[in-house]
Structure 1
Amino acid sequence: MIINNFVTPKDTQPAPLPSETDFVSNDINIKNELSRKHLELLEEVRNHLKNYSSEPLDMVDALQKLCINHYYEEEIGLILKSLYARMSNNDDYKHDKSLYEVSLSFRILRQEGYYVSADVFADFKQKDGKFKEEIAQDVKGLMALYEASQLSLDGEQILQEASDFSSGALKEMVPSLDQDQAMITTNILQHTWWKDLGLAQELKLARNQPLHWYLWPMASLTDLSLSEQRIELTKPIAFIFLIDDIFDVYGTLDQLVILTQAVNRWESNSLEQLPHHLRICIQALFDVTNEISDNIYKKHGFNPIDFLKQSWINLCEAFLVEAKWFAEGYMPTAEDYLNNGMVSTGAHVVIMHMFFLLGGGPNIKSASIVNENQGITCCLAKILRLWDDLGSAEDVDQDGNDGSYVAYYMKENADCSIQKAHEHVMEMISNTWKQLNAECLYSSHFSRTFTKACLNLARMIPMMYDYDENHSLPFIKEYINSMF
């Protein structure tokens, strides 16, 4: 037989093509090999962690920053217990340690719920009470000291001094530092749910920033096992921004009253009086919230729908108060504005969803604390509101207007300059951070996973609201670009 000028013996058959089974088998072999290598690497790191010749905190810190520390919880726990015992029972422990080592030990222990006295930094001060000049050139130590100082509690003056000293020294050194930044990479999941909702097409003036919204849960829920929770948490964050834009630039006051009443009733029939674009947005809110509640019930055995509904009711009512103030030309006191503005940040909505997504449902007392904007929720909302108001009283690329604590504070204090007002707000933020640190350190109502997530949310705020003179957020754009 002759085929294409090649002679093939009659009794010779062409080699069979690979079957689907062959491809599947090969794929399984590849996955098994990758899984084997993965386990070998994990075990290799575990052995390094167990047999680390010097202080292992560098390695613990690296594992936490790489978000793979959950593989080594037992080993890290033993390391931290041993370190805490040595620091607590040995006054000489810190004398032979560098600024970096002491600062790193202090920060990681406090982050993990161990109380360490701020007096560990006393040895780095001179007789006159100021920090030693020789540490002003220690970049690594200064950065560690600054990070440690952010975990201060009320009354810890030495940590305030540490923050001022380290930040001042680092700022002076900026021109000589290497400006290369490590690239942060991720395989970020595409939010097809957002596209499927079609709200970006219906509300063209509203913010359409799914990547911005995803940054919050990505930074707060760092454990790799919480991928599903990160995606779910992005959904209420998206609706907070959407509803904010509806109240700012879309709805008339009459429509906003109807909308708030509809959310209060949580009934689709209540939406009939609203225009189409507002109706589908709130209907989507109902559907997504009910879906999240169902998923939480299936996973944790507790249906949080009543708590989640109440968080949205509180948010819409706070938005409506601001809308009425603006429509009537009313100037609230700075305190009244702040109290309402803390609710209108939506922080309580995010924290409430996060609480239940992390399995906190059976603890009704803790859920009530979150729902009533106490403790951690109150602190985080206050920091968010004040940081946001420091940036601008106008939303980014929006025609609508919000109030500003800075503006109301200056109105009440006629002799106060904009600089003094900003300094006052920064002091408020600093004091609130101390309260938040104390709440997370001492609170027995919440899991460590939850309190860590709240702290991470608060840490994100300065970056997420770092406005420039054009009311835009260039740093966020650079940050997102770096991830890709």
Structure 2
Amino acid sequence: MTQTKETTSIHEDNAQAARPFPEPPHHIPFAHKYELEQLVKKMKETMEYKSVEGNEMEELIMIDAIQRLGLECYFRDEIFATLEKWSQMGDDSDVLHDVALRFRLLRQAGYDVTAENFGKFKDKDGRYKQELSKDVKGLMSLYEASELRINGDQILDEAADFARNMLMGILRTANKSESVVIRNTLKNPYHKSLPRLTAKNQLHNFEGHVNGLHECLGRPVWVKEMQDLARIDHSLAQIQLQNEICQVSRWWKEVGMGKILEHARNQPIKWHMWSWVALTGPDMADLRTELTKPISFIYVIDDIFDVYGKPDQLALFTDAVKRWEYQNIIGLPDYMKVCLKTLYDTTDEMSHKIFIRHGWNPKQCFQNAWAELCDAFLVEGKWFAKGHLPTTEEYLKNGIVSSGVYVVYVTLFSLLGEAINDHKNMHLLSKSHPQIVHFTGTLLRLWDDLGSAKDEDQEGHDGSFVACYRNEHHGSSDENARECVFKMISNAWKSLNEECLSNSPFSQDFKTAFLNLARMIPIMYNYDDNHRLPNLEKHMKSLLPHE
């Protein structure tokens, strides 16, 4: 899992990880809790009233607004009831905005809705009607819906191109407020966004944002109420995140890996952001802090293989992970021994917690996942120590494993109690590579390889998909290779969408976690020319108030 290291304010994790951390001083004020509960109650009453009075499209607009502000956890039952009703209704509307919004909300909730209904917006030649070119809200809704396309959805492939081209043309003459909404839709479509990170940016003009996306009659009272609820929710989330960071940073300081590996990545706060977006429930704080622990080891062990270790030492290290025995480790430097001991202890402790919580011990599954990861790192090391570039197929197959995604899979599977939710799920761990995890790993590996910055403080080299592609396709350029990668990323998203729509044995929390990890990947790997992650920095500054 070769991770590009950035020169960024996030690098201050090194300093934070080194200083003592007091007990988390951040408590959620009772007044905030009470106000939140009252607003949630009021919003639920409004949703029920809209349903009774038959203002059906406003129901869907409310759900869209709730989801964009990351408030879905408070209204799961109400949203389910509304979408269940809509799933049983026919769609005879000829309004593009309404058809696309209904389709998107139902499909992203897992309903099997066909995209063929968009055919009514095509002319006799099979092209989208030109009169739609002036329907700004309809085009934005269509573009958002196209992000839910799966393999074989040609009509949505065409919709994506049509809507994008029309909106780009409209931008040339749009006013300022309209252009802001259009640009945001094109750059950050909801299905690939993380409300946990972006909601605050919408609060200052949320009414304008809602009106820019939808045809709202008048000024709905619920918009102001929802805005107030989102502000409180964001404040509570900030407090919760600060508490979690204190716990993660204390754990990282106690294990001491940052001191032992001076030049390795030492960024527990950044690593925790993966967990923060994956598991969004207010009641999942303990699960998030636990998930950050194996994620941290993925980064550290990657550095050991890519920077620190010698080939013979790395072979011994991998063998020790496979045997899962700390005794009789001979020939390993002290830092490897400490890493192994800490990995064993952390895994044992987590396995015990999961056994207490769910009555099932995942220790053997963890051991298998770590052994598989180290094997993949070892394969990469052997390839590139010999100057060997594998085929793109070989590289990607191994690279998905070395991304660390299967360690994350076993961790999420265990923490969320998937084996207990449905005992039939037990066989999924022996299978090891479910498609939903595979395609998330594909996205991670390909985005990682697209990183434009060089690894800071890392002298190791383990190649990239681009290099393997150019070696395999003689005469091709970097541009050709990158075009191929972007096409593969698009196809991986279609397959990931399909996995989330299928009758999966996994829980909704599990599927949402992997969708959120996929959404987080571009933020974690979108480097600028200064080796920085500006988007991640911006989000973290929003979530972590300056002291």
TM category (shorter chain) comes to: 0.7 to 0.9
Name the aligned partner's letter for residue 42 of structure 1.
V
1:444 aligns with 2:504: yes
2:67 aligned with 1:64: yes
1:130-145 equivalences in 2 (<5 Å): 130-136=127-133, 140-145=137-142
- Offset at 1:102? 2.6
1:252 equivalent in alignment to 2:255: no
Asked whether the 8 Å contact 1:406–1:422 carries over to 2, the reply is yes
Letter in 2 for 1:475: N
Deviation at 1:170, TM superposition (A): 4.6
Alignment match, 1:292: 350
1:199 aligns with 2:257: yes
| Structure 2 length-normalised TM | 0.76
Matches for 1:66-145 after TM superposition, within 5 Å = 66-86=69-89, 90-92=90-92, 94-95=93-94, 97-99=95-97, 101-136=98-133, 140-145=137-142
Per the alignment, residue 354 of structure 1 pairs with 412
**Cα distance per residue 1:252-291 (max 9 Å; x no partner):** 1111111111111111215453222222122211111111
Question: Which amino acid is 2:266 matched to?
Answer: N
Which one of the candidate residues 430, 450, 454 is aligned to 2:514?
Answer: 454
Match of 2:19 in 1: none
Which deviates further from its counterpart, 106-115 or 160-169?
160-169
In the TM superposition, what are the counterparts of 1:3-22 in structure 2 within 5 Å?
A: none
Q: After the TM superposition, which of the residue ranges 131-140 and 292-301 deviates more from structure 2? A: 131-140
Please identify, of 356-365 and 226-235, the stretch whose mean Cα deviation from structure 2 is larger: 356-365
**Contact conserved, 1:67 with 1:223, CA < 8 A, in 2?**
no
Residue 272 of structure 1 contacts residue 279 of structure 1 at CA under 8 Å; is this kept in 2?
no
Q: In the alignment, what sits opposite 1:6?
A: none
CA drift of 1:68 comes to: 3.4
1:39 alignment partner in structure 2: 37
Secondary structure of 1:342's aligned partner:
helix
Paired residues of 2:69 and 2:199 also in contact (CA < 8 A): no
1:163 lines up with 2:160 in the alignment? yes
Shift of 1:398: 2.1
Output one character per residue of 1:284-316: Cα deviation in whole Å (capped at 9) or x when no partner.
111111111111111111111111111111001
| Cα distance in structure 2, aligned partners of 1:270 and 1:111 | 52
1:147 aligned residue: 144
Match of residue 20 from structure 1: none
| CA positional deviation for 1:50 | 0.8
Structure 2 residues not aligned, in runs of 5+: 1-28, 185-197, 202-233
Change (3 A) 1:182 1:294: closer
Which structure has the greater CA radius of gyration? 1
Please say which of residues 456-465 and 405-414 is displaced more in the overlay: 456-465
AA matched with 2:200: M
Q: Give the equivalent residue in structure 2 for 1:311.
A: 369
SS at match of 1:424: helix
Inter-CA distance 48–393: structure 2 relative to 1 (3 Å threshold): same
User: Would you say the 8 A contact 2:470–2:481 is kept in 1?
Assistant: yes
Shift of 1:226: 1.6
Q: What does residue 4 of structure 1 align with?
A: none
343 and 50 in structure 1: CA distance in 2 versus 1, 3 angstrom threshold: same
- Equivalent residue runs for 1:401-412 within 5 Å: 401-412=461-472
Question: How far, CA to CA, are the matches of 2:138 and 2:524 in structure 1?
Answer: 26
Between the aligned partners of 1:345 and 1:121, the Cα distance in structure 2 is 38
Question: In the alignment, residue 462 of structure 2 is paired with which amino acid?
Answer: D
Task: Indicate which of 304, 328, 342 corresponds to 2:400.
Answer: 342
Whole-Å separation in 2 of the counterparts to 1:182 and 1:140: 21
Q: Is the 8 A contact 1:296 1:302 kept in 2?
A: yes
**Native 8 Å contact 1:290 1:305 kept in 2:** yes
The reply to whether residue 48 of structure 1 matches residue 46 of structure 2 is yes
**Contact 1:393–1:403, Cα closer than 8 Å, also in 2:** no
Partner of 1:183: 200
CA distance in 2, matches of 1:238, 1:136: 48
Distance 1:393 1:407 in 2: 15
CA shift for structure 1 position 62: 2.9
**Of the candidates 346, 349, 360, which is equivalent to residue 302 of structure 1?**
360
Encode CA deviations 1:129-171: one digit per residue, 9 max, x unaligned: 3334454455554443333222211111111122223344455
Amino acid at match of 2:257: L
In structure 1, C-alpha distance between the alignment counterparts of 2:375 and 2:496, rounded to whole Å? 26
Quick check: 1:263–1:313 contact (8 Å CA) kept in 2? yes
1:482 offset after TM fit, Å?
2.8
Over 3 Å counting, the alpha-carbon distance change for 1:201 and 1:132 in structure 2 is farther
Q: CA 1:36/1:456 → structure 2, altered by over 3 Å: closer, same or farther?
A: closer
2:537 partner letter:
K
Count of residue pairs the alignment pairs up: 448
Partner amino acid, structure 1, of 2:101? L
Moved over 6 A (4+): none
In structure 2, give the amino acid aligned to 1:68: L
Q: What SS does structure 2 have at the residue aligned with 1:151?
A: coil
Task: Name the amino acid aligned to 2:155.
Answer: I
Equivalent residue letter for 2:518: A
Root-mean-square deviation (Å): 2.5
> How do 1:296-445 and structure 2 match up within 5 A?
296-362=354-420, 363=422, 365-370=424-429, 372-392=432-452, 394-445=454-505
> Which of 497, 520, 523 is matched with 1:463 structurally?
523
Deviations 1:154-211 (A, max 9, x none): 1111111222233444555399533898636533122221222221122121112223
Structure ranking higher on relative contact order (CA contacts 8 Å, 6+ apart): 2
Which residue is equivalent to 1:12?
A: none
- Residues 258/113 of structure 1: CA separation in 2 closer, same or farther (3 Å cut): same
d(CA) in 2 for partners of 1:168, 1:465 = 27
Q: Give the deviation of 1:251 after TM superposition.
A: 0.8
Equivalent AA in structure 1 for residue 273 of structure 2: L
- Tell me the distance in 2 between the aligned counterparts of 1:292 and 1:69: 29
CA distance in 1, matches of 2:37, 2:46: 14
Structure 1 SS opposite 2:327: helix
What is the alpha-carbon distance in structure 2 between the residues aligned to residue 365 and residue 470 of structure 1? 49
- Helix, strand or coil: the match of 1:331? coil
